[in-house]
Amino acid sequence: MKTGIINKIIAFSNVDGPGNRTAVFFQGCNLHCLFCHNPETIHRCVGCGLCVEKCPQWALKRNEAAGSRPVEAGKTAGMAGGRPDETAPVPPILWTPSLCVDCDTCIKTCPHLASPKVQYMTAEALRDKIRRTAPYINGVSFSGGECTQQRDFLMEVIPLIRELGLGVLLDSNGTYDFEQDPELLRIIDGVMLDIKAADPAFCRTLTGAGPELPFRNLDFLQRAGKLEEVRTVLFPHHPEQNEATVRAAASRLRPDVRYKLLRYRPFGVRQEGLDFLGGEITPEAEGEHLAALARSLGAENSVTV
């Protein structure tokens, strides 16, 4: 039995796919995008305990059962070499939600971009949570972090959710090779795919990985009928990059696939990202202009948000 490591569950979300959906945010991501607006979901907690000392509510404590995994300052554990260990994870820090007031002191304290406020859940436990929201929703969306990082857990929990009569959409950063995983593809309704940048150098600077696999996924998922939507974030000081990305994505998209151009907003972005991208919101006019461009290139279902 696998354990999912989950940052949070939003019972009713109107912004994570079509209709009203329960959104599950998995902890841990293989990219480190500079514009990430919830960077505390990027890494797994290493149990350094700095947050335990700072928590004003005593809602956090060390989990003696986990033992400590010493990590050099500035480095993070558990992410080297692809997917993290899923065999027997226990939380290094125990979090008591009933004491927590969501002041986020722990997140501000953490040097590892890892929230200690996560839940370790079995597939059955997550299914039981979703059973309560099931009467009111159109489906479930798995987001993150990067949910495909916990692929084996997805394989356990998605069939249980489908038994509730609900479909599952994955929100992915595009770095998972969906073509190589027909089993996963068979049990999901579709993928909401990020296309972060087209220019290889810019993409690497921005995310830590190149654009090749996300674009390959776009083509493949579209062919397979599993491309629910594509999202691109537009940055305030990079109009040429924005246009290059939108052109590359839009020219490949079929007219019916929804293409969302999300204007960058600085909220939640870490200092490193603010230094590179700035503290401004991308102008609405640029969003409208690029959405029109995308529509003219064939992605007729393009909108800016």
Partner 1 sequence: MSAALDIIQDPTLTYHQELLALARLGESTDDSLRYSDEYYKAKDSRALCDLNEGVMPYRPRYICPDYSLLFTKGCAFLELDPPQDLAEALNSLMILYHHVPSITSFPVYLGDLDALLEPFVLKEDRAYAKKLLGLFLKQIDKTLTDSFVHADIGPGASVTGELLMELTEEMQLAIPNLTLKYDPAVTPEDFALKAVNCMLKTAKPSFANHGMFVKEWGEKYAIASCYNGLMQAGGGYTLPRLRLYECSLAAKSVEDFLDRVLPYYADLQFEYMDKRVKFIVEESSFFKTNFLVTEGFVKRENFTGMFGLVGLAECCNHLLGIEDPKKGFGLNDEATALGRRIMDRLSELVEAHEAPYCESTGHRYRLHAQVGIDSDGREDAPGTRIPIGAEPAMLDQLAVNEQFHPYFPTGTGDIFKFEETWMKTPEAVLPIIKGSLARGLRYFSGYLENNDVVRVTGYLVKRSEIDKLTAGRQSLNNVTVFGKGAKDFGGALDRRVQKQDENRDH
Euclidean distance between CA atoms 172 and 178, whole angstroms: 10
Q: What is the number of other CB atoms lying within 10 angstroms of the CB of residue 291?
A: 21
Nearer to partner 1, 137 or 230 (CB): 137
Shortest distance (Å) from residue 244 CB to partner 1: 29
62 or 129: CB nearest partner 1? 129
CB of 38 to partner 1, least distance (A): 11
* Whole-number Å distance between alpha carbons of 20 and 12: 6
CB of 11 to partner 1, least distance (A): 4
Q: Is 10 in the site for partner 1 (CB under 8 A)?
A: yes
Smallest distance from the beta carbon of 118 to partner 1, in angstroms? Answer: 11
Q: Does 94 bind partner 1 (CB under 8 A)?
A: no
Question: Is residue 137 at the binding interface for partner 1, with CB under 8 A as the rule?
Answer: yes
Interaction of residue 135 with partner 1, rule CB under 8 A: yes
Tell me whether residue 19 or residue 200 sits nearer to partner 1 (CB atom).
19
CB of 274 to partner 1, least distance (A): 22
Nearest to partner 1 of 3, 133 (CB atom): 133
For partner 1, the closer of residues 98 and 180 by Cβ is 98
Segment 13-72, which members bind partner 1 (CB under 8 A)? 13-15, 18-21
Contact of 3 with 119, CB cutoff 8 Å: no
Dist. CA 58–CA 54, nearest whole Å: 9
For residues 284 and 235, is the Cβ–Cβ distance under 8 A?
A: no
Contact window for partner 1 (CB under 8 A) among 39-47, 78-86, 130-138, 151-159: 130-138
Residues in the chain: 305
> What's phi and psi for 202, nearest 5 deg?
-65, -40
Note whether 129 binds partner 1 by CB under 8 A.
Answer: yes
**Closest CB to partner 1 among residues 268, 283:** 268
56 burial class (0-12, 13-18, 19+ CB within 10 angstroms)?
A: exposed
Q: Does residue number 281 form part of the binding site for partner 1 (CB under 8 A)? A: no
Smallest gap from Cβ 14 to partner 1, in A, equals 4
Burial of 294 (0-12, 13-18, 19+ CB in 10 A): buried
16-36 burial, b for 16+ CB within 10 Å, e for fewer? Answer: bbbeebbbbbbbbbbbbbbbb
Nearer to partner 1, 213 or 303 (CB): 303
Distance CA 5, CA 44 (A): 9
Instruction: Tell me if 297 sits within 8 A of 248, measured CB to CB.
Output: no
Q: Check binding of 100 to partner 1 (CB under 8 A).
A: yes
Q: Please identify, among the stretches 26-34, 93-101, 193-201, 267-275, the one whose residues bind partner 1 according to the rule CB under 8 A.
A: 93-101
Residue 121, SS3 per DSSP: strand
Residues 138-177 that bind partner 1 (CB under 8 A): 138
CB nearer to partner 1: pick between 166 and 185: 166
What DSSP letter does each residue of 83-94 carry, written as one string? Answer: SPP-SS---SEE
Give me the residues that bind partner 1 (CB under 8 A), please: 8-15, 18-21, 97-98, 100, 119, 129, 132-133, 135-138
